[in-house]
Structure 1
Amino acid sequence: MQLKALAVPLCVLSLALSGCASKYVDPAQYSGFLKDYSNLKEEKSPSGADVMRWIDPKVDVRKFTSVYVEPSQLYPKPQPTEKIPQSTLNGITTYYDQTLKNAFVKALPLATGPGPGVLVVRPAITAASAKTKGLAPYEVIPIALVAAGVSAATGIRDQDTSLATEAAFLDGSNNKLVAQVVRKGAGADLENSDQVLQAKDFKAVLDVWAQDMVKSYQQLKK
């Protein structure tokens, strides 16, 4: 019985140790929001973060005279939990939409929809999690992995938070894909495992993502 009782926490711990090594979203965790992941390559974002990215080598971004930011999605559609309630999920996408628009409007006028000369930005939040430091995710959208047993055994209280996104960039005149990116980032630390995640815990990372997207566009334009 003792060996059986130890099996689950040891398994969870081994998953945590193997998962923490990568700075990129594991391909096994790609959500399916993007249609094709085969061309993604390891790159550095303008802020120096590790991302998986593809840009059409033939694209001329100077032809885009405006940008349309589609409402961001939660993909796959998650089930709210006590740790990550629906209000938090709604708050994340609302803030993501606004910070993308605030960043892009500094480079291009905002359009009201796709069309000739319009760069379409199609973003999604594909994971939100909180994990006890050094352990496996406490709760991941849409998959829940509870590590409470291991957490109690270690006595560790602080919790890391993280968020993942996938985004596609399309030519508004023909819906042709011109770029895509997959990345993850750290949110604010929580004091303990009882603290509920809030949208404000991810504002800083969402700001960086939006700024990196615009800077990447500006670099291509040069």
Structure 2
Amino acid sequence: MKLQTVLTSVVLGLAVMMSGCSSKKEGPAVNTGFFKNYETLEAQKSPANKSLKNYTKIQIAPVHVVPAITVDKQTASQKKMYKDIAMYLNHQYAKIISESGYSIANKKGKDTLSLESAISAVEVHFDDKEWNQLSPIAMGLDVVSFNAYMYEFVRLLGEMRLVDSETGKVVARNLTILKDEKIFITGDDLELKNLKAGLDAWLVQVKVNLEK
């Protein structure tokens, strides 16, 4: 979507735009659905999990990028960006795993964990105690999301779990809003370069989570 088109649409809703909360919703909390249960999981960094000492190998599951845009409305450039995000994170995960003292596994097996993860965008209002900070927002610019991106209310959300590849038991999980990494609009649409700082901050958190 061209920036001029977005601006025209936003001007039509100027009164809403000035509030800085165009997509604010009432009602029950929403989330990406990556975890089945969010009630006991806080959006904060977790300490290293001592139970990881029993594992020596990690299998990397494909990264799940949550665009919050239906496939029929995704542009070619957006689809490419989602693939690039997944490829970048998968490549960096492999480096982190090796640096953390694990071997990379190509299949399930004994002493092996599966690293499953998701990356998405959320609209945040940290000064609003009633706002659900896990509110998903489109990973791309449209007439709804433009306002939140323009006012720098969007952050990346990283979710991961380490699963025993033999039993399917979740050994550890983590959810982190990369709140210190604001996403800045620099063109007509969201690009990988706009998300790079947030992705790298997430990789730092993943490394922390893998420390035994």
The answer to whether the aligner puts 1:113 opposite 2:107 as a matched pair is yes
Higher strand share goes to which structure? 1
Q: What's the CA shift for 1:92?
A: 1.1
Q: Report the alpha carbon displacement of residue 128 of structure 1 after superposing the two structures with TM.
A: 7.0
Secondary structure of the residue aligned to 1:164 is strand
TM-score normalized by structure 1? 0.64
Is 1:124 matched up with 2:129?
no
Aligned length: 182
Contact in 1 for aligned 2:140/2:189 (Cα 8 Å): no
Letter aligned with residue 16 of structure 1: C
- Residue number in structure 1 paired with 2:57: 66
Identity %: 21
Aligned counterpart, 1:97: 90
Unmatched runs of 5 consecutive residues or more in structure 2: 1-10, 124-134
Q: Provide closer, same or farther for how the CA distance between residues 12 and 73 of structure 1 changes in structure 2, counting only shifts above 3 A.
A: same
Tell me, yes or no, if the aligned pair for 1:161 and 1:188 is still in contact at 8 Å. Answer: yes
Aligned match of 2:128: none
| Greater RCO (CA < 8 Å, at least 6 residues apart) | 2
**Separation of aligned partners in 2, 1:17 and 1:70:** 35
Which amino acid is 1:36 matched to? N
Match of 1:140 in 2: 138
CA contact (8 A) 2:112 2:165 kept: yes
**How large is the Cα RMSD of the aligned pairs?**
3.9
Unaligned runs of 5+ in 1: 1-5, 20-26, 47-54, 130-136, 152-156
Query: Who is 1:32 aligned against?
Result: 33
Deviation per residue, 1:118-167 (Å, 9 max, x gap): 121101123378xxxxxxx9x7249955366x79xxxxx78676322222
Q: TM-score under structure 2 normalisation?
A: 0.67
Is the 2:43–2:176 Cα contact (8 Å) retained in structure 1?
Answer: no
- Assess if the C-alpha contact under 8 Å between 2:45 and 2:205 holds in 1: no
Indicate the SS of the match to 2:200: helix
